Chain A
Amino acid sequence: MADATIPHAAPMRRPLAGRVKAAVVLFAIFAALPPVAAALDDPFFVLIGTRILAYAIAAMALDLILGYGAMVSFGHAAYLGFGTYAVAILSSYGVHDIFLQTAAAILVSALFALVTGAISLRTRGVYFIMITLAFGQMAFFFFISLSAYGGDDGYGLAQRSTLLGSDMLENDFALFYATLATLVALFWACHRIVGSRFGRVLTGIRENPTRMEAIGYSPFRFQLAAFVISGCMTSIAGVFLANQAEFVSPAFMSWHRSGELIVMVVLGGIGTLSGAIGGAVAALLLEEALGALTEHWRLWFGLFLVLMVLYSPNGIAGLVKQVANRGRKS
């Protein structure tokens, strides 16, 4: 029992450093994936890997507001959509540069997050969940009626984005490493944000908004800023998803996607950043594995979700801890 109390007594820096370590291990595993896939002669792994990395970016961005700001946004798939359609629409006008496409995605996402966030943040709890969901659906229906880009059916990309004028991202390996590099950079950014004064104010608001207001912080401004940052980061994930699939469709923005993003964050343990990355890996691998076994994988995935919530409230991380503690005791 004695060692169970140590984490509480340890200074705050300890678990943070552990999380960075966990992330570094994950990144290292990712970096080793393409050579392994090449050795196995199965390039499909690299494409799945890119997809996982892109969702990891989105899940981490969501964790920034869900874990550190207690804002359960059920409309984050909209930002994935903005990212994917920024690629599709700009490239149809001959703008293939990935930086310009990302900038456009961020701009649109920032505007959308600013407006919908300002309205959503006037409410809390259940209202917030439902309103973000409704705004997500609004964006979804907008792109469904966008007949110039295929509407419901989606739109195939003529080519992937270019990087500094070169078409190196056409290579699956290059795209994989570009996505990985972005994930690492954004993880570092998130890590810095969480550790900054801004991040601590955000966490303080999560714990007790009234008290934060009493000592002179306006919760609304900090939450809105975090909401916008998170939305913009999620749209970057969308840019890579569009390139990975070479296809965009409103399916990227359906509310199921938003739900899956929340699942990823919770699976890995909320408010840990590296957990969101691990959660994305776990959720997508589980999806792939179940999908390979049965056509009705959703049934089993849903069952897994319900059981996880009922019996392991802290996600996979919590489960691992439980098992580890039990092992230590015996």
Chain B
Amino acid sequence: MTNLFVLQLLNGVQLGVLLFLIAAGLTLVFGIMDVVNLAHGVLYMVGAYLIATFAAATGSFWWGLALMLPAAVVVGLVLEWVVIRRLYARSHLDQVLATFGLVMIASEAVKIIWGVSPLAVPMPEILSGSVPLMGPLQYPVYRIAIIVAGLAVAAGLYVVINHTRIGMLLRAGATDRMMVSALGVDIGRLFAVVFTLGAVLACLAGALVAPILSVDTGMGESVLILTFVVVVIGGIGSIKGAFFGAILVALVDTLGGVFGPILLREVLDPAAAGQAGRMLAPMLVYILMALILFAKPAGMFGGRG
């Protein structure tokens, strides 16, 4: 029981750092640019496909990762330049529609380019295998590496946002865009930087997860909605909120799925508990969101309503 708990806890944290990488960009784009970007999940998918292609071409995961990052920058810049830039002054409804269109274009384009069958990305040699954790418990090294990489990015973001000039501009932009612009900051360039940063982080999340998931066209969708929940729970525009929100959502999702039925078995007979648990588990995250919003409509760390 303890072993299972530790295992699921680690899985939860691993999902959490991935969600954070995606949510960080999304919350900045929402908070600073006030743009609803439904296409953010697409970037996660594109990251996975890019690394699959580059890793297959070079025969190495690391080369794939190294080539994926500049490609992600290009994707982010082009997307911002061609579509997103024209949406800043538009209503949320227009943004929803245009980025919904982007989702359709991207998922279909991916199908045309890479086909419908899922791709596999080889795991890097050095990170394959498992380490003993406690007693008979083993845990895959790669998942630990994801956690470490995610936490490192989170720490890096923390430093950039709280201790550098560009971070100061980001925070100022999230609080009051007009004022930042009035103080002579090139807001257009700031927006492009923010969007590209978010795109690269989402692509990175997709690339990191590629070796342990099958890379397919549906992968962006499930993650997009979870990321929305994270951003809403954490508070729009708050990186800190995105981090804690991501971990919380991931833990509730993973632990709830496993331990919900076990807990229900205490009060219900096994068959009913199994059925109720299966139905409740996928809904837990949304119930959590409803509870948090009921208490704090602007999320845990959100300043604006």
Q: Smallest distance from the beta carbon of A206 to chain B beta carbons, Å?
A: 12
The chain B residue sitting closest to A121, CB to CB, is: B297
Q: Smallest distance from the beta carbon of B74 to chain A beta carbons, Å?
A: 19
B101 touches A302 (CB 8 A): yes
Which A232-269 residues have C-beta < 8 A from chain B?
255, 259, 262-263, 266
The chain B residue sitting closest to A151, CB to CB, is: B278
A137 touches B286 (CB 8 A): yes
A74 touches B96 (CB 8 A): yes
B98 touches A306 (CB 8 A): yes
Q: Is A36 an interface residue (CB 8 A)?
A: no
Of the four ranges (under 10, 10 to 19, 20 to 34, 35 or more), the interface on chain A belongs to: 35 or more
Q: Is B268 an interface residue (CB 8 A)?
A: no
Scoring A residues 60 to 90 as 1 if CB is less than 8 Å from chain B, else 0, what string do you get? 0000001000001010000000000000000
Q: Is B279 an interface residue (CB 8 A)?
A: yes
B94 touches A309 (CB 8 A): yes
Distance, CA A95 to CA B271, complexed state (A): 27
B102 touches A306 (CB 8 A): yes
- The interface centre, meaning the residue of B92, B97, B98 with most chain A CB atoms within 10 A of its CB, is B97
B232 touches A131 (CB 8 A): yes
B109 touches A299 (CB 8 A): yes
The chain B residue sitting closest to A309, CB to CB, is: B98
Scoring A residues 124 to 153 as 1 if CB is less than 8 Å from chain B, else 0, what string do you get? 111101110111011001101111000000
Distance, CA A313 to CA B94, complexed state (A): 8
Distance, CA A24 to CA B197, complexed state (A): 51
Chain A residues whose CB sits within 8 angstroms of the CB of B229 once the complex forms:
130, 134
Q: Smallest distance from the beta carbon of B20 to chain A beta carbons, Å?
A: 17
Chain B residues whose CB sits within 8 angstroms of the CB of A146 once the complex forms:
279
Q: Is B239 an interface residue (CB 8 A)?
A: no
Chain A residues whose CB sits within 8 angstroms of the CB of B107 once the complex forms:
298
Q: Is A310 an interface residue (CB 8 A)?
A: yes
Q: Is B250 an interface residue (CB 8 A)?
A: no
B105 touches A129 (CB 8 A): no
Among the 9-residue stretches B57-65, B146-154, B288-296, the one with 4 or more Cβ atoms under 8 Å from chain A is B288-296
Distance, CA A66 to CA B97, complexed state (A): 13
B101 touches A309 (CB 8 A): yes
A interface majority secondary structure:
helix
Q: Is A296 an interface residue (CB 8 A)?
A: yes
A302 touches B102 (CB 8 A): yes
The chain A residue sitting closest to B236, CB to CB, is: A126
The chain B residue sitting closest to A119, CB to CB, is: B290
- The interface centre, meaning the residue of B38, B281, B299 with most chain A CB atoms within 10 A of its CB, is B38
Q: Is B225 an interface residue (CB 8 A)?
A: yes
B92 touches A310 (CB 8 A): no
Q: A126-B236, A130-B231, A298-B108 are in contact. Are A145 and B286 (CB under 8 A)?
A: no
A134 touches B286 (CB 8 A): yes
Chain B residues whose CB sits within 8 angstroms of the CB of A304 once the complex forms:
101
Scoring A residues 301 to 312 as 1 if CB is less than 8 Å from chain B, else 0, what string do you get? 111111011100
Q: Is B155 an interface residue (CB 8 A)?
A: no
B108 touches A296 (CB 8 A): yes
The chain B residue sitting closest to A255, CB to CB, is: B225
Scoring A residues 293 to 330 as 1 if CB is less than 8 Å from chain B, else 0, what string do you get? 00010110111111011100100000000000000000
Chain A residues whose CB sits within 8 angstroms of the CB of B287 once the complex forms:
138
Chain B residues whose CB sits within 8 angstroms of the CB of A131 once the complex forms:
232, 289, 293
Contact of B105 among A72, A125, A270, A303 (CB under 8 A): A303
A310 touches B104 (CB 8 A): no
Distance, CA A149 to CA B293, complexed state (A): 32
Chain B residues whose CB sits within 8 angstroms of the CB of A125 once the complex forms:
92
Distance, CA A144 to CA B278, complexed state (A): 10
B225 touches A133 (CB 8 A): yes
B104 touches A126 (CB 8 A): no
Distance, CA A146 to CA B280, complexed state (A): 10
Distance, CA A147 to CA B225, complexed state (A): 23
Q: A72-B93, A135-B286, A138-B283 are in contact. Are A126 and B86 (CB under 8 A)?
A: no
A72 touches B101 (CB 8 A): no
A302 touches B225 (CB 8 A): no
Q: Is B36 an interface residue (CB 8 A)?
A: yes
Distance, CA A119 to CA B93, complexed state (A): 20
A145 touches B279 (CB 8 A): yes
Distance, CA A147 to CA B278, complexed state (A): 9
The chain A residue sitting closest to B282, CB to CB, is: A141
Distance, CA A138 to CA B287, complexed state (A): 9
Distance, CA A126 to CA B40, complexed state (A): 15
Which B102-116 residues have C-beta < 8 A from chain A?
102-109, 111-112
Distance, CA A310 to CA B109, complexed state (A): 20
Chain A residues whose CB sits within 8 angstroms of the CB of B103 once the complex forms:
302
A126 touches B36 (CB 8 A): yes
B112 touches A296 (CB 8 A): yes
Q: Is B90 an interface residue (CB 8 A)?
A: yes
Q: Smallest distance from the beta carbon of B105 to chain A beta carbons, Å?
A: 4
B282 touches A144 (CB 8 A): yes
Q: A134-B289, A141-B283, A147-B278 are in contact. Are A302 and B232 (CB under 8 A)?
A: no
A262 touches B101 (CB 8 A): no
Q: A134-B225, A138-B283, A296-B112 are in contact. Are A263 and B97 (CB under 8 A)?
A: yes
9 contacts between A and B (CB under 8 A): A126-B92, A126-B236, A127-B297, A131-B232, A134-B289, A137-B225, A138-B287, A146-B279, A298-B107
Known: A74-B96, A124-B305, A302-B104. 13 other contacts (CB 8 A): A72-B93, A126-B30, A130-B232, A131-B232, A134-B229, A134-B286, A259-B100, A299-B109, A302-B106, A305-B104, A306-B105, A309-B94, A309-B97
For the complex of A and B, list the 10 residue pairs with the smallest distance between their C-beta atoms, beginning with the closest: A302-B104, A305-B101, A302-B105, A141-B282, A138-B286, A299-B108, A306-B101, A309-B98, A302-B101, A298-B108
| Interface of A toward B, CB cutoff 8 Å | 66, 72, 74, 116, 119, 122-127, 129-131, 133-135, 137-138, 141-142, 144-147, 255, 259, 262-263, 266, 270, 296, 298-299, 301-306, 308-310, 313
